[in-house]
Amino acid sequence: MSARLDAQMSFLNEADKLKNVIRATTLCDGSRHENSGEHSWHIALYALVLAEHAPDGVDINRVIKMLLLHDLVEIDAGDAPIFGDHDIAAMEADEAIAADRIFGMLPVDQSVELRAIWEEFEAAQTPDAIFAKSLDRFQPPNQNLMSNGGSWTDYGVSYDTIEARVGSKIERGAPVLWAWLSPKIRAWFLH
């Protein structure tokens, strides 16, 4: 029991480092960039509050667990900004190595269980993962609207780019949320 708890606590202490991974998105007040720890809290709260907008068959408790875990690999692999240019294959390889190390700190049964939830999120094929991904994409544009530009300004993106890279993924998992958000983004770009 004690060795098991030792391993779990090593993992939870390591997870603390996610609070030092900085994202492209700022807080709503624009005062600073947000980190991946507080971002993970915020979108888990999104899931809790917006559960009724999930398609039928989504288990919101699993979605919340997925969102609590979804960014842990960034402790080693860093955050890849949505509007940045990335070598996707290299990034996925880095994240797999990070997952080996970080989930590998847990007792074996739990390591397998939680890593499978993360892999399900990454694969974005199940209803839970598709909805979780849509929330992960839905939060940043809301922050950008509040902060009057945020990462849109920093990366010099257009409405069409947002629709292609972000809107398509929000719409896939949560069409109601994209229908609500897209006119607001369009209006911001016309202001």
| Residues near a second copy, by CB under 8 A | 1-2, 5, 8-9, 11-13, 15-20, 27-29, 31, 34-35, 37-38, 40-42, 44-46, 48-50, 53, 61, 64-65, 68-69, 106, 110, 114, 142-143, 146, 176-177, 180
Kindly tell me which of 7 and 161 has the beta carbon lying closer to Ca ion.
Answer: 161
Would you say 26 and 143 are in contact if contact means Cβ atoms under 8 Å apart?
yes
**Partner from Ca ion, a second copy, none binding residue 77, C-beta < 5-8 Å depending on class:** none
Tell me how far apart the alpha carbons of residues 140 and 39 are, in angstroms, rounded to a whole number: 9
Kindly tell me which of 21 and 157 has the beta carbon lying closer to a second copy.
Answer: 21
Kindly tell me which of 71 and 171 has the beta carbon lying closer to Ca ion.
Answer: 71
Give least dist CB 156 to a second copy, A: 24
Kindly tell me which of 43 and 174 has the beta carbon lying closer to Ca ion.
Answer: 43
- Count of CB atoms within 10 A of residue 94's CB? 17
- Count of CB atoms within 10 A of residue 35's CB? 17
